[in-house]
Amino acid sequence: MPNLENLSDIIWTSIVAYSMVQGYLLFIIFPTYRQGSRQAKWLLAVASLICAFLLTEELLSHIVGYEQLPHLILSVGPLWYLLGPIIYFYVRLYSTQKKMSRKDLWHFLPPAWVLLSSLEFFSYSGDIKLYYYKMSSEGVTHPIHSLNFVIFSSQSLFYLIACWSLIKADLGQLRKKMEQTWIAQLVIGLGIIASMSFLSNVVLNVQAPNLWWVGSSYFIVVSAFLLILFVRSMKSPKELYLIGRPSLLNTNHSKADFEITYLKLLEFLEEQKPYRNPEFDLQTLAKQFGHSKHYLSRLIKESTDLNFRDFINKYRLEEAKKKLASTESKQFTIQSIANDSGFTSLATFYRAFKRLEGKPPKSFIS
């Protein structure tokens, strides 16, 4: 039983306990907020719950001890492998507004594997669990635990790189843009948590008593993550829940610069006509025009109230209408006009006309 008279021990226990309570509160608060992205709110809610579970297990084992509660050993371990995908999906939703789909289920294969591989350990009696726990403190780990540690390390590295790649285009303005700074904080937080978890496992395996502080610091980092999340959710829920992301006009881009960039974009499209290439997309435009995808997407949205696809299809439709209205239109088929205007297929061509013009292509033939 720990000596709670020790001041540092009291401070550590208080911080972890307070953060644990806030973690459970965040799990309730996030989904109940009426506005905002449902996926964003639930991603943050589940991340908070996972951290709260982890801190609960640590507090109980710290105060009562695993000898009295042996079935707590690794009880929330599999849940911890969900944190990487959750933060990655949140960052992706914020940076690109690309929501989760069924194709993304593969991200949950590592947590599923860890859960299945741990079922046998969970079925052990308390005495056997205590045996493996004591062995791990002496540098001998269960084979399943060692394999899962490798999976966790690889997974953490993958999601750190994936998250950072989504925001690296705006690195030069991270300190200036509030919303981008917040995303950076999430990514950095994930990195610190993963690093401390990695170090904790390494300390166990190499039997380094002089690094005992690593384990305690790990839970302090998790606690700080929850505390900051709680403060941000109370201070600025619109920012956190992805409600009405700040306009580019309200950031460090002046209105004049904003309008100049948009006019240059229009000039570039009218002169170069890159949209006539069916393979032309936002990534290609970003490379050719010299701005990030994130910036161009918001520039187009705030200037025209259209997404990138509809914005480009407007140009393609104007190109097609000119050909349809020309005296030489009878020399070309609808298919050839669609392809020459930049549409990948005739079906896409007709859908664009119906959605953006409200008329079929043949109505424009002179």
273 and 203 belong to one structural domain:
no
Helices 83-96 and 178-206: angle between axes, nearest 10 degrees: 160
Residue that terminates a domain, selected from 219, 240, 261: 240
148 and 203 belong to one structural domain:
yes
42 and 131 belong to one structural domain:
yes
With cut-offs at 50, 70 and 90, classify the pLDDT of residue 24.
very high
104 Cβ contact list (under 8 Å, min separation 6):
89
98 and 114 belong to one structural domain:
yes
Residue 2 belongs to a domain: no
Distance, CA of 21 to CA of 78 (rounded, Å): 21
State the SS3 of 323-337.
Answer: HHHCCCHHHCCHHHH
With cut-offs at 50, 70 and 90, classify the pLDDT of residue 176.
very low
191 and 229 belong to one structural domain:
yes
Distance, CA of 95 to CA of 202 (rounded, Å): 34
162 and 298 belong to one structural domain:
no
Residue that terminates a domain, selected from 223, 240, 257: 240
282 and 344 belong to one structural domain:
yes
Residue 203 belongs to a domain: yes
Q: What is the mean pLDDT of residues 241-260?
A: 59
Residue 288 belongs to a domain: yes
Question: For residue 250, what are its two tokens?
Answer: 């309200």
**Greater model confidence, 139 or 121:** 121
Instruction: Pick the closest to residue 56 from 24, 101, 88 (CA basis).
Output: 24
**Greater model confidence, 97 or 306:** 306
Question: For residue 161, what are its two tokens?
Answer: 């790189």
Residue 1 belongs to a domain: no
| Residue 42: predicted pLDDT | 92
201 and 335 belong to one structural domain:
no
With cut-offs at 50, 70 and 90, classify the pLDDT of residue 208.
low
232 and 302 belong to one structural domain:
no
165 and 194 belong to one structural domain:
yes
**Which structural domain, as residue segments, surrounds residue 271?**
248-364
Q: What is the reported pTM?
A: 0.60
pLDDT digit string (tens) for 43-85? 999 999 998 998 898 888 888 888 888 888 778 878 878 888 8
In DSSP notation, 267-323 reads HHHHHH-GGGSTT--HHHHHHHHTS-HHHHHHHHHHHHS--HHHHHHHHHHHHHHHH
Helices 213-235 and 38-63: angle between axes, nearest 10 degrees: 140
41 and 165 belong to one structural domain:
yes
| Residue 201: predicted pLDDT | 61
Residue that terminates a domain, selected from 198, 217, 240: 240
- Domains held by the chain: number: 2
What's the CATH number where 266 sits? 1.10.10.60
Q: For residue 288, what are the CA distances in angstroms to 268, 274, 329? A: 9, 9, 32
128 and 260 belong to one structural domain:
no
Least confident of 87-91, 191-195, 218-222, 277-281: 191-195
Angle, CA 50 vertex, CA 49 and CA 56 arms, to 5°: 85
Residue 140 is classified by DSSP as: -
